[in-house]
Copies of this chain bind each other. A is one copy, B any other.
Amino acid sequence: MKTAEVISIGDELTSGQRLDTNSQWISLQLGELGVRAMYHTTVADDLPANIAVFRSAVERADIVVASGGLGPTADDLTRDAVAHMAGVELVLDETQLRAIEAMFSRRGRPMPERNRVQALFPAGAVPIPNPNGTAPGIHLVVSRPNRSPCNLFCLPGVPAELFEMWRQTVAPAIAATMPEARVIRHRRIKCYGVGESHLEAMMPELIARTREPLVGITVSQATITLRITASGADDEACRRAMEPTVREIYDTLGTIVFGEEDDELQHAVARLLVQRGLTLATAEWGSAGLIARWLGEVSQGREHLAGGVVVASGHSAARLLGIDEALVARHGDTGREVATALATACREKTGADLALATSNVPPIDPTASVPPKFHIAIAASTGVAVHAARYAGHPDILKDRGGKDALNALRLHLLAAAD
């Protein structure tokens, strides 16, 4: 099995000022390609240390993937370190220089002289195009006496740039070096609405560590992910091996499952709106624009969004939606009355088929035995449905949790409306 070393470069990482998440991501991707990461090395912005790290990595690993140190400033040392390690000069790549100049000119600015260094490459290296930034990556094949060569890839540290360059160039280049195709595939099924231990109790034998395919369970802010892992000769073999497990999960969990892979609740809601041909508007107090933002990030279904209102006080509820301020004063800003009034007024004002509203989130009192309620209202042509929820915990978590519960209530409403 081919082995890999993942290198991250930067004082901000070795000093602990920033957490390195690129190494984890790269290691997961290597695993998908059937490559075992044996080492992660993080090194400070120091030229001799960088040279030593690259030297030892190309010695002990078949594939080396480095991130960081490709910027235009004096503390960006990766180019120099790789050239030193390989014992070659840095040479200017005219094509890359023109690409960097073009990127600046598209932004309406001349290229600063300093950025010229980003077009320098160790002799013999192949540039890795960076569609999202000015720093191209470096692919260098390093020959080793009596052994297969080491493939070294250097990428910028900015995650969005790194991810895209990995997908477009690095992953295919690594796959091309593999002797036989053996792939590892994952499928993630996303669930919402029950706790982790409750879900585990619904399907106890599924999480066993010896199971094939393996099912892992992780939770992030109340969204549960079931991750199925299979290995096989190709995509199709992995897909077939996973199929019975996937079936069992769907059959057992029903509407608790809302999607797969990178789906979030907003994707599930957007799909349902499109399927039903319905438009949605939002009126948010406690979730403070979070739901509008989540829905706005989903491109599918944007034409089904009829706008949103963010309310910050009884006064702004009155000005933006014509809510009676006395009603807020009488029932409190966290009550079912406010949620109902916001949903109703928002639906009328926007002319949307559906309106989703949140009341303000109650202040957190850690000493209270029963936390206060937060309200979600859904206004439809058939009337207004109100859901209450109680939360303990930190107020920041609570906003996210309230926003997710609101989207989930809407998702279940849309599912039920189909029957």
Contacts and interface: CB of A to CB of B under 8 A. Distances in A.
Interface of A: 8, 10-21, 23-31, 36-46, 49, 52-53, 56, 60, 71-75, 103, 105-109, 112, 114-115, 131-133, 158, 160, 164, 186, 188, 195-198, 200-201, 207-209, 216-220, 227, 229, 281-282, 288-293, 295-297, 302-303, 305-313, 315-317, 319-320, 349-351, 366, 368-371, 390-394, 396-397, 399
A14 B43 contact: no
B307 A319 contact: yes
B217 A73 contact: yes
Contacts of A114: 197, 200-201
A397 B25 CA distance: 19
Contact of A289 (B39, B75, B112, B292): B292
Contacts of A30: 16
Please classify the interface of chain A as helix (H, G, I), strand (E, B), loop, or mixed, using the class held by over half of its residues.
mixed
B40 A41 contact: yes
A72 B199 CA distance: 11
22 contacts: A8-B40, A10-B218, A12-B227, A14-B38, A16-B23, A16-B27, A16-B29, A40-B41, A56-B56, A72-B197, A73-B197, A108-B390, A112-B195, A115-B197, A132-B397, A160-B397, A288-B292, A288-B295, A289-B293, A297-B399, A307-B319, A309-B310
A371 B108 CA distance: 9
A369 B24 contact: no
A397 B107 CA distance: 14
A42 B390 CA distance: 36
B106 A390 contact: yes
A109 B25 CA distance: 40
Given A74-B208, A133-B393, 11 more contacts: A14-B36, A14-B37, A15-B31, A39-B42, A39-B43, A75-B209, A164-B394, A289-B291, A306-B313, A306-B316, A319-B350
